[in-house]
């Protein structure tokens, strides 16, 4: 329904443009559509009145509907209520929030951690709190949208280097005259599944006196010893110039994010990160549930070993077919198709067989690289991965 503004000359300008752009998006097969799930997050998803085998969530360890966590949430609701009531600095910081920060710092062998409501908010808070107009940010071209927006919001110079190109980054750093420098990178690239060369990035950060901010949304819980993430995967330790950010809505199965680092920089973020300060603290239920989730991650070797078996199974199953899996060692296993229309066609063909794999299109990925983003979870069985492989082989 549309209101009539017939009395106002030119008033329709404001929506005619949007109508036109929406039509164009439709013509480019770029309109996004949501599926409304009638089931909890899991490998069997129900929507449109049907059940599907799902390969679309980032619930890599299968914790989102884990009974032990549901029980932790129930108990937390009884003990703490459902809402925090105000922001952390005003009066909403409760014991579960505090315990979660301490548990994360201890799990990661970091001096201190700060918990944000989402990963988007963490990145939008961290970067502008540390960088400003006279500074320069060096960012991988495939970084997540939240890191791109964080850099823009900071008003610092934003230099983007070709994906994982250390020589290009080194050149940019060497020629910079900025007061302060920061290197920003995904640890596991969210649409490709490959890793950033963190040891080399750390060396460059040292050499050019820069911060290194690592966003490990897809590595935390999955990679490294006990799921400690990408730093552990590379045998790296925390360092005063390193900020390690992770999210809690993916492998951790709940919602939220954190940044870990040395005491003073975390204190500074607490004082200055606007997305931490000017927002209501997240529900204590989430914090208490996450405390239980960290334990399951810590003890999750069997889940992680099973996930690795599934990754190998998918890779072997699709080897020597027309389906090009990107070279990814993680749970994110994208199949690059190319054009939007073709990617949608393959996704539709799988859908017709009761298999749900999201087609990812620009602007989420570069033009001409539309893909099926297969995302595996420890909750999948070998048979379920085989079902996907067989369906794809038949389509090839």
Ligand X SMILES: *Cc1c(COP(=O)(O)O)cnc(C)c1O
Active site residues: 190, 218, 250
- d(C-alpha 106, C-alpha 158), whole Å: 33
Query: Would you tell me which residues interact with ligand X (CB under 6 A)?
Result: 118-120, 123, 144, 146, 186, 190, 215, 217-218, 247, 249, 257
Residue 380 CA to its chain's centroid (Å): 20
| Cβ-contact 188, 223 below 8 angstroms | yes
- In the bound complex, which residue of the shown chain has the CB atom lying closest to ligand X? 119
> How far is residue 152's CA from residue 155's CA, in Å, rounded to a whole number?
6
CB of 249 to ligand X, least distance (A): 5
Q: Closest distance between ligand X and the C-beta of residue 348, in Å?
A: 25
Peptide bond just before 363 cis, omega within 30 deg: yes
Cβ proximity to ligand X: between 118 and 333 the closer is 118
Angle at 220 between CA 156 and CA 167, to 5 degrees: 45
Q: Which residue reads 């939240």 in tokens?
A: 146
Q: Which helix (H) or strand (E) holds 348?
A: helix 340-352
Q: Do residues 80 and 94 make contact, with C-beta atoms less than 8 angstroms apart?
A: yes
- Write down the least CB distance from residue 117 to ligand X, Å: 8
- DSSP string covering 296-334: HHHT-HHHHHHHHHHHHHHHHHHTTSS-EE----SSEEE
Residue 58 CB, nearest approach to ligand X (Å) = 7
Q: Token match 């049907």: residue?
A: 50
CB of 396 to ligand X, least distance (A): 29
């Amino acid at each position: 329904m549309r209101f009539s503004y017939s009395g106002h000359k030119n008033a329709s300008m404001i929506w005619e443009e949007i109508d036109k752009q929406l039509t164009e998006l439709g013509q480019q097969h770029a309109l996004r559509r949501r599926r409304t799930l009638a089931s909890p997050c899991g490998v069997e998803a129900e929507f449109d009145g049907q059940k599907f085998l799902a390969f679309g969530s980032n619930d890599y360890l299968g914790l989102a509907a884990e009974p032990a966590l549901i029980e932790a949430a129930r108990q937390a609701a009884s003990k703490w209520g459902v809402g925090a009531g105000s922001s952390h600095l005003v009066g909403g910081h409760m014991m579960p929030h505090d315990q979660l920060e301490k548990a994360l710092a201890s799990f990661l062998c970091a001096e201190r951690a700060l918990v944000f409501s989402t990963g988007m908010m963490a990145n939008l808070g961290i970067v502008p709190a540390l960088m400003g107009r006279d500074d320069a940010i060096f960012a991988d071209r495939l970084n997540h949208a939240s890191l791109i927006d964080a850099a823009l919001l900071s008003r610092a110079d934003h230099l983007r280097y070709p994906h994982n190109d250390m020589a290009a980054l080194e050149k940019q750093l060497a020629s910079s005259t900025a007061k302060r420098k920061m290197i920003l990178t995904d640890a596991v690239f969210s649409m490709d599944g490959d890793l950033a060369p963190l040891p080399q990035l750390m060396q460059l950060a040292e050499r050019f006196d820069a911060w290194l901010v690592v966003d490990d949304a897809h590595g935390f819980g999955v990679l490294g010893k006990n799921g400690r993430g990408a730093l552990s995967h590379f045998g790296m330790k925390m360092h005063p110039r390193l900020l390690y950010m992770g999210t809690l809505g993916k492998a951790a199965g709940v919602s939220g994010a954190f940044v870990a680092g040395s005491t003073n920089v975390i204190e500074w973020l607490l004082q200055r990160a606007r997305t931490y300060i000017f927002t209501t603290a997240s529900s204590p239920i989430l914090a208490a549930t996450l405390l239980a989730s960290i334990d399951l991650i810590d003890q999750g070797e069997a889940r992680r070993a099973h996930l690795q078996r599934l990754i190998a199974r998918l890779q072997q199953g699709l080897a020597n077919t027309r389906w090009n899996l990107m070279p990814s060692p993680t749970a994110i296993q994208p199949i690059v198709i190319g054009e939007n229309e073709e990617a949608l066609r393959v996704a539709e063909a799988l859908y017709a067989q009761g298999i749900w794999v999201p087609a990812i299109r620009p602007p989420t990925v570069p033009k001409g690289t539309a893909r099926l983003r297969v995302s595996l979870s420890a909750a999948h069985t070998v048979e379920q991965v085989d079902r996907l492989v067989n369906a794809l082989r038949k389509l090839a």
